[in-house]
Each structure stands twice: as C-alpha cells, then as structure tokens.
C-alpha cells in the first residue's frame, strides 16, 4: 500500500485515505531525506522545501501543499522527475480580503472615496478589488501578466498606483528574474521614492515583495502614512524594528480562516486521491470563495487585527543590543502560526 506523509498542521484530513494508502502524520521539521525516502506522496505547507535535497532518490511521485503559494517548490526540478506538484490556489482568498479590509478600517475608519491600488489581481486581488469598490473606495488594478493576456483595459502601471493611491495592497506571488514580471522587491527604494500621496502600505502576499529595509527608510522619510505587514522578508525571522513600528503586524495569518483551511485541504486531498487512482472524493462543505462584498459593519465585527498584533508583540523577547527593539525568535513566529485559532470568514 502507498505511503503518505502529512504535515501535522494540515487540518481536516480525517480517515479519507483509509483503504487507499498508509498515512503518517509528522511535524514540519521532520520532513527529512531519511523520512521521505520510502514515501510515495507528501502533503506539506510552506515551510517544507520540496526540491532535490529533500527528494532526490526517494519514491515520492506527488507533493501537495495546502497553501496558495508554491515558493517552496522547485517546480522545474519536480517536473523533470515526473513528480506531480499541486497547490490550492484561491483557497484562502476571502480570508485575506477580510484581513485587508479589516486592517483598512482599523487604521482609516472612513476610507470611502479614497483610492486603493491593488497590485496583483489574481484570486485574492480580485476579491479585494471587488469588495473595496463595493464599499465605496476607488480602485486601481495593476497586474502586468493579466494586462498582457487580456488587454490593458481596466489595468494601470505600478507607477500610476504610486502617483494616485492612498492605500496600496500587494497580492502577487514571489518571483525573481528571469521571470517575465519579477515581483522580488517590487516595492523597493525607487518605488517608495516615487510615492506622491503618502499611502498606507499593506503586504499580505509574500514577504520579499516588499523590501523591508526600504520600507523602514520610507517610514523615516514620511513617504508612507503607515504599514500593515502580515508577510515578512526573511520569515520566520522578522525585522525587530519593523515589528515594533508597523501599524499592524501579524505572523502570516491573513489567510488563516476555518473555511480557507477546509478548501486547501480538500483541494490537495482530492488531487492526491486522483493521483492514487481512487474514486473517493473529500467534501468538507466549505463555501465557494466568491462571496458578495460584506458591509463595513460585518467586516469590522468579524475580525480585529489588533488582537493578533498584540499577541505577536507580547511574544517577543526583551530588546537586545541590536537597535533596542524586541526580538521575535523564529520558533516563536512559527508557533504563533501553527497554533493560530482559525477565525470565521466574514459572512460565513
């Protein structure tokens, strides 16, 4: 019988693989070359890099991540070895939109009439843009890959967002050159220097999309009015100064809703069941991620990001000599994520 290794923090697996494969639930740090050598499939999260150092010489033919992102997958190498790689695009899009809108309302109680620049208009960005517009904000969408594929109507360049936006929220994957539109340090020194309206900056995408050092310098120069950081450059190690100075700081939990986790597990499990030739289908009853825009009152009642910020800052160690800012150890950042109490999506 095939063997599946499953990250202990992927919820809702249950007994779906009974009679199909043997399962073993392990801690994220226990995904080692020795552990995976005789496995046929892995179900992981973002902290498990699936590449040659882990998988070379193993029996693995399937890797699934119960997340949107695939930064931790070496996709060309996996394809070259015939290993099927699956993620869960869009699974937590409503939860991230909930986080973004709740953060906006927490810092800008009356954003109606302001201009929001949405950078990256995929699964998450589409919902953010739609909800912001329905709630009375003006929306500018920047997505060069979509503009190239669909035509420029409805899209603007990043420099226009830098000129016109009062709030800028990032929702791109993390890519580097030679990708056609690399997003690494998309918000860099030059970007911050070009800002004209001292916007609020929100990063609930991937940490390295925003150059954290450049953001701190922009804060010093008062080029931005504030920032919301859920995704950190270098995480699980995070900048002590940015942790202390961000208006909202959270431990990469923007997408951590109960419904989002259900969608993610369901997507990856069903892909693996198909891979194994099983006719079983998991149906956890999660709503489709296309809910109508909620009211302002529903958003603010559903989630308070200051609670998560308070927990994160309370977990930091006292200031060390390096700048005088409290330090959050990487293992504490991981613990906050791994043991997060999943919230209900707005309207759920």
**Residues 10, 63: Cα–Cα separation, whole Å:** 14
**Residues 227, 248: Cα–Cα separation, whole Å:** 7
- Angle of CA points 257, 258, 259, to nearest 5°: 90
Task: For strands 84-86 and 115-119, give the pairing.
Answer: unpaired
- Angle of CA points 280, 282, 285, to nearest 5°: 150
- The catalytic residue among 130, 174, 223, 235 is 235
Helices (H), the chain: 33-36, 52-55, 75-80, 93-107, 123-134, 144-150, 158-164, 189-193, 212-220, 240-245, 258-275, 296-302, 305-314, 330-338
Is 252 annotated as catalytic?
Answer: yes
Residue 310's region, left for phi above 0, alpha for psi from -120 to 50, else beta, is: alpha
- The catalytic residue among 252, 263, 337, 343 is 252
Among 143, 112, 111, smallest CA distance to 125 is for 143
Torsion of CA 126, 207, 43, 36, to 10 degrees: 160
- Residue that is written with structure tokens 């699934």 in the block: 64
**Residues 39, 61: Cα–Cα separation, whole Å:** 9
Q: Which strand ranges, in their side-by-side order, compose the sheet holding 21-26?
A: 21-26, 2-7, 41-44, 62-65, 84-86
- The catalytic residue among 130, 146, 206, 343 is 206
The token duo for 125 is 């960005």
State the catalytic residues: 206, 235, 252
């Amino acid at each position: 019988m095939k063997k599946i290794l499953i990250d202990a923090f992927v919820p809702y697996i249950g007994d779906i693989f009974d009679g199909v494969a043997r399962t073993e639930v392990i801690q994220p740090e226990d995904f080692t070359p020795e552990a995976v050598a005789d496995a046929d499939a892995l179900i992981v999260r973002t902290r498990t890099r699936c590449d040659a150092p882990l998988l070379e010489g193993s029996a693995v033919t399937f890797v699934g991540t119960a997340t949107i992102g695939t930064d931790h997958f070496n996709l060309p190498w996996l394809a070259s070895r015939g290993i099927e790689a699956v993620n869960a695009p869009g699974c937590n899009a409503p939860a991230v939109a909930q986080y973004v809108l709740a953060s906006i309302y927490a810092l800008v109680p009356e954003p109606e009439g302001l201009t929001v620049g949405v950078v990256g208009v995929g699964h998450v960005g589409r919902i953010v843009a739609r909800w912001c517009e329905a709630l009375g904000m003006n929306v500018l969408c920047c997505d060069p890959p979509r503009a190239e594929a669909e035509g420029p109507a409805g899209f603007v360049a990043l420099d226009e967002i830098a000129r016109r936006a009062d709030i800028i929220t990032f929702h791109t994957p993390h890519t580097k050159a030679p990708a056609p539109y690399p997003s690494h340090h998309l918000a860099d020194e030059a970007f911050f220097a070009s800002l004209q309206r001292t916007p609020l900056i929100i990063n609930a995408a991937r940490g390295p999309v925003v150059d954290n050092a450049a953001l701190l310098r922009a804060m010093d120069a008062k080029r931005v009015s504030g920032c919301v950081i859920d995704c950190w450059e270098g995480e699980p190690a995070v900048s002590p100064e940015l942790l202390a100075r961000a208006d909202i700081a959270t431990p990469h939990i923007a997408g951590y809703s109960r419904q989002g986790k259900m969608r993610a597990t369901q997507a990856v499990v069903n892909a693996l069941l198909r891979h194994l030739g099983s006719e079983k289908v998991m149906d956890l009853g999660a709503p489709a991620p296309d809910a109508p825009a909620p009211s302002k009152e529903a958003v603010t009642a559903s989630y308070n990001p200051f609670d998560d910020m308070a927990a994160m800052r309370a977990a930091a160690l006292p200031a060390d000599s390096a700048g005088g800012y409290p330090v959050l150890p990487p293992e504490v950042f991981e613990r906050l994520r791994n043991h997060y109490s999943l919230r209900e999506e707005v309207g759920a």
